Amino acid sequence: MYLDFLLCCNQILLQHYERNSMYTIKVNFEQKGLPPIIVETNAIGDSLLEIVLDNGHELHHNCGAVCACSTCHLYVEKGDEYLAELTDKEEDFIDRAVIPKINSRLGCQCVLQKGEGVIEITLPDQTQFNGE
C-alpha cells in the first residue's frame, strides 16, 4: 500500500517535471542576412535538427537523420550537457563535415534530454550544400 502511494507520487512528480521542462534555444546563422532566433521548447526527445526544421529554418539532412552523413553539422556554443552524448559513430561523421571544430555536433543526434536551460547553436551556411 505504502509502496503504491510512493510510486503514484513519483509518477505525478515525473509528469509535472516533464510538462514543465523548458529549454531556450538560441540559433545563430553563419549565412549572411539571417538574424539569430530564439526558440522556447519542451520537446524532450526531439533533436536539434527537428527543432530547427519545425521552426521553418533549413538544416540539411541528406541521410534522413540516421547518423550516416554530416550535412546536419552544427556548432553547440552552449548547453551541450542538455543533449544526448556524442557517440563514436557521430564523431566519425563529424570528421567528414565542412570545417569541424571542437564544439561540432550532428543536429540529428543532439536529442534534448530531460531538464531545462539555455542551449545556443550556430548553423553553418546552408547555401554551400546540395541536397535535402
Instruction: Find out whether 104 and 73 touch, Cβ atoms under 8 Å.
Output: yes
Please list, in sequence order, all residues whose beta carbon lies within 8 angstroms of the beta carbon of residue 109, skipping any fewer than 6 positions away.
Answer: 47, 67, 84, 86, 87, 90
Told to check if 105 binds ligand FES by CB under 6 A, we report no
Q: Which three cell numbers stand for residue 110?
A: 543532439
Q: What is the DSSP string of 80-96?
A: GGGBPPP-HHHHHHHTT
Told to check if 97 binds ligand FES by CB under 6 A, we report no
In whole angstroms, give the CA distance from residue 49 to residue 97.
16
Closer to ligand FES at the Cβ: 72 or 119?
72
- CB 69 → ligand FES: shortest distance, Å? 4
Nearest to 27 by CA among 59, 64, 62: 59
Told to check if 51 binds ligand FES by CB under 6 A, we report no
One of 25, 69, 76, 83 touching ligand FES (CB under 6 A):
69
Select the span of 10-18, 35-43, 60-68, 80-88 touching ligand FES (CB under 6 A): 60-68
Told to check if 48 binds ligand FES by CB under 6 A, we report no
Residues that bind ligand FES (CB under 6 A): 61-63, 65, 67-69, 71-72, 93, 106, 108
